[in-house]
Structures are given as C-alpha cells and as structure tokens.
Amino acid sequence: MKNPLGMAVLGLLLESPLHPHAMAATLRERGMDRSFKVTTGSLYDVVRALMREGWIEARETVKVGARPERTIYGLTAAGREEFTRWVDRLVREPQAEFPKFLSAVSYLGALGPSGAAEALRERAERLRASLEEMRGSHRAALEQVPRLFVVEVEYAVRLAEAELEWVEEIVGDVESGRLAWPEGER
C-alpha cells in the first residue's frame, strides 16, 4: 500500500462511511484532487487493498433501482491508527521524488542557449498563471474554512514561487552568458 490515495480514503472515512464513488466526488468537491491523484480505476484498487490490510470494512451494500450496487465502507480501529501513522511518516521522512522538470533540466543543454531560454520563458509564463489561480482559490477557501484546512495550498504556492524565481534567474543567466554552453554543445 504505497498509493497516497489510500491515505485520503482513510482520512475521508474518519468523518463518515462512504461508497467509492462518493469518496471521489467528495475529494473533488473539496479540491483535494490538487494534492492526490484521484482516478476512478485506482480508487477501486486502493479500496480493495485497504480491505486486505483490514483498515476499512464493508458496512452495507445498498441497491437503489437497477443501478450497480453501492458498497459502503467504514474505518476499522486499525484503520484509524494507520491513518495517523501514515500522515506522520510522510511528514517526517522526505522521500526522493523525481519531478519531470528536474529530469528535463538535467538535459537543458540539448536545447541550445536560445532554445533553452525560450522554453524556460514559456514555462515561467505558465507558472505565473497557475500561481495566480492557486492564490485565488486559497483566498476564496480561507473565507470558508480555517487556515489549517488550506495549508497545503500555501505550501504549493511557495514551491511554485521558488521554481518561478529560479526559472527567471536561469533565463537571465543564459542571456547574460553566466550560464554558458561549452564549445561543441551546439
């Protein structure tokens, strides 16, 4: 059980039992799909895995009309514990991750000075847009709920700001020659 979506499910069930479709809907309504990759396919796999581990259990299976049955899952005591442990571990232990941009930057040389500068300028543009959007939704959310429930947006904003600054600096460095292409690389 590695998928963080599992943690999100446990977190939701802490409030009340739900069926998978409702979990996905709730996560999306609350904008949690910015922090978790919510895909229906994976959701059902994850729920099955949580069952295997004994962290959730089927509470009832309801049939409304001729629609597919809805199985409603609830947290077990073990699940409640696991949730906290899970959050704690992810907070405590930084994990080696591999954002795609990091990969790309490793081969920035391949674009040549002007190509690199141009591509980076476009990234900067897009980053500014998405930052604007995040800041907006953060402001909006703060009027509805306590800050504790939106700290993750503050974190995302901070990282995006740092990335944007770095990208802008590198564009400057390329243009000024502070970041030079060695002979033979274009």
Partner DNA sequence: CATCAAATACTCGGAACCGAGCGATCGGAG
Partner DNA sequence: CTCCGATCGCTCGGTTCCGAGTATTTGATG
DSSP 8-class letter at 55 = S
Q: Cβ of 96: how many Cβ atoms within 10 Å? A: 4
Residues that bind its own copies (CB under 8 A): 4, 7-8, 11, 14, 32, 34-37, 83-84, 87-88, 90-111, 115-116, 119-120, 122-123, 126-127, 130, 146-149, 151-152, 154-156, 158-159, 161-163, 165-166, 170, 179-182, 185
Nearer to its own copies, 38 or 73 (CB): 38
Q: From the list DNA, its own copies, none, which binds 138 (C-beta under 5 to 8 Å, kind-based)?
A: none
What token pair was written down for 160? 């995006």
SS3 27: helix
Nearer to its own copies, 67 or 107 (CB): 107
Chain centroid to Cα 133, Å, comes to 16
Vertex 39: Cα angle to 30 and 156 (nearest 5): 50
Q: Cβ of 13: how many Cβ atoms within 10 Å? A: 24
Residues that bind DNA (CB under 7 A): 1-3, 19-22, 25, 37, 39-42, 44-46, 49, 64-71
Q: From the list DNA, its own copies, none, which binds 65 (C-beta under 5 to 8 Å, kind-based)?
A: DNA
